[in-house]
């Protein structure tokens, strides 16, 4: 086994230096790994926690090639990266996890849905198209009726690039770009879970969480663990995610978002080949965190236990509407008096409406108790500008 611990010769390169990278660095520092991070912003959240910081564009072929040249292992904390360069680095003997082919497949929602279809994984009925004219033709052919959901093939993130189409006026708003349309799910619960597969092919799943969304921003506001589902449904969701990581053959973590429909059916909505907002509460609530699990998986180590220690709720701290500029965390001191509250600030100096600035995880004896604390935190702590 290669020795990555306390070594100056074995470098781990991370593409992306945002909050996900910052939380990965908490573990790389604990393990004493040599890290190098690439991000376009000089004051990215990762700029100070790594051994080497490189300012540059992870979507640019030459920049990624130069960045990866002296790395032994490369990973990502964002999926919008130059996969051509990662493939070339892989062919030159670098360990690139998750594998660039898988990142490429997931980057495109049409290819992702096709993968589910080819592997008999349950997902909303759908079809893909190259442009709007083809969409209209296929709608007739498949007798697809309103309402439905439109998604851009690439470039979507946090609800952008997704539209619910309810009438003819909505239909007109669909841009003339490649995409897919799918059936509008009768959602009862939106759940997610982080699963992992290591180099030896071992897999493990964290407990499914339930997500609740902000009505305006269409962004996750709270995450609850465990999800309020029967043992059978929780197990079914875990098995689905494990089957997906197995079929993809991914090395690293995979976050899988799913719908539990009113008729009890589970559909895979989408997945992300990286650590994920829905898994942040694993830091305090589980024996191993998603960040440690990812590093274990990509470095060839055994996976850690995913067992839940205590029920937990995570609150996303996002910029208040009406405030743009240097950030000020109003009520942070008062909030810290809450028992079992773990505050994470991402190190972003500027706030703007709905920007993800941090999160707070609340653990308690029961989920209800953690939920009450989370609601209180949301009331006390506000992300404003000075």
In the complex, which residues of this chain contact ligand ADP (CB under 6 A)? 124, 149, 151, 156-162, 182, 184-185, 187, 190, 213, 257, 269-270
Q: Between 167 and 349, whose beta carbon lies closer to ligand ADP?
A: 167
Q: How far is the CB of 103 from ligand ADP (least distance, A)?
A: 15
- Torsion-angle region of residue 331: left (phi > 0), alpha (psi -120 to 50) or beta? left
Encoded tokens for 227 = 């999800």
Q: Between 5 and 157, whose beta carbon lies closer to ligand ADP?
A: 157
Task: Output the CA–CA distances (angstroms, integers) from residue 190 to 61, 179, 195, 228, 362, in the order listed.
Answer: 36, 22, 17, 11, 20
Q: Between 39 and 257, whose beta carbon lies closer to ligand ADP?
A: 257
Q: Between 12 and 163, whose beta carbon lies closer to ligand ADP?
A: 163
Q: How far is the CB of 123 from ligand ADP (least distance, A)?
A: 9
Q: How far is the CB of 187 from ligand ADP (least distance, A)?
A: 6
Q: How far is the CB of 265 from ligand ADP (least distance, A)?
A: 12
In total, the chain counts a number of residues equal to: 386
Angle, CA 303 vertex, CA 301 and CA 305 arms, to 5°: 145
3-state secondary structure of 356: strand
> Which of 225, 239, 234 is CA-nearest to residue 308?
225
| 159: DSSP letter | T
DSSP collapsed to 3 states, 192-247: EEEEEECCCCCEEECCCEEEEECCCCCCEEEEEECCCCCHHHHHHHHHHHHHHHHH
Of the CA atoms within 13 Å of residue 256, those in its CB half-sphere come to 37
Which residue number has the CB closest to ligand ADP?
185
Q: Between 115 and 342, whose beta carbon lies closer to ligand ADP?
A: 115
Q: Between 124 and 260, whose beta carbon lies closer to ligand ADP?
A: 124
Q: How far is the CB of 197 from ligand ADP (least distance, A)?
A: 22
Q: How far is the CB of 235 from ligand ADP (least distance, A)?
A: 23
């Amino acid at each position: 086994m290669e020795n990555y611990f306390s070594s100056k010769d074995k470098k781990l390169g991370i593409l992306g230096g945002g909050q996900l990278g910052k939380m990965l660095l908490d573990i790389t520092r604990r393990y004493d790994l040599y890290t190098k991070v690439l991000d376009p912003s000089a004051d990215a959240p990762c700029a100070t926690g790594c051994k080497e910081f490189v300012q540059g564009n992870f979507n640019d072929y030459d920049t990624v090639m130069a960045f990866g040249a002296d790395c032994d292992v490369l990973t990502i904390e964002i999926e919008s990266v130059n996969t051509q360069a990662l493939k070339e680095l892989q062919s030159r003997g670098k360990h690139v996890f998750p594998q660039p082919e898988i990142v490429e497949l997931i980057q495109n929602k049409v290819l992702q849905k096709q993968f589910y279809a080819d592997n008999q994984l349950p997902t909303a009925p759908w079809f893909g198209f190259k442009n709007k004219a083809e969409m209209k033709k296929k709608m007739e052919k498949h007798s697809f009726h309103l309402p439905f959901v439109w998604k851009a093939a690439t470039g979507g993130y946090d609800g952008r690039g997704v539209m619910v189409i309810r009438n003819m006026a909505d239909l007109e708003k669909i841009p003339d770009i490649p995409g897919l349309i799918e059936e509008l799910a009768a959602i009862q619960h939106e759940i997610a879970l982080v699963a992992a597969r290591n180099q030896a092919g071992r897999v493990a799943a964290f407990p499914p969480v339930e997500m609740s969304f902000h009505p305006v921003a269409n962004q996750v506001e709270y995450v609850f663990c465990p999800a309020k589902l029967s043992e059978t449904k929780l197990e079914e969701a875990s098995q689905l995610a494990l089957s997906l990581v197995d079929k993809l053959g991914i090395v690293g973590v995979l976050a899988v978002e799913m719908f539990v429909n009113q008729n009890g059916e589970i559909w895979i909505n989408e997945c992300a080949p990286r650590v994920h907002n829905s898994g942040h509460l694993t830091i305090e609530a589980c024996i191993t965190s998603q960040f440690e699990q990812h590093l274990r998986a990509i470095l060839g180590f055994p996976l850690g236990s995913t067992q839940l220690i205590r029920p937990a709720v995570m609150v996303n701290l996002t910029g208040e509407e009406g405030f743009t500029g240097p950030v000020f965390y109003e009520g942070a001191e008062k909030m810290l008096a809450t028992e079992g509250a773990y505050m994470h600030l991402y190190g972003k100096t500027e706030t703007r409406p709905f920007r993800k600035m941090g999160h707070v995880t609340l653990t308690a004896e029961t989920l209800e108790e953690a939920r009450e604390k989370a609601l209180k935190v949301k009331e006390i702590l506000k992300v404003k500008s000075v």
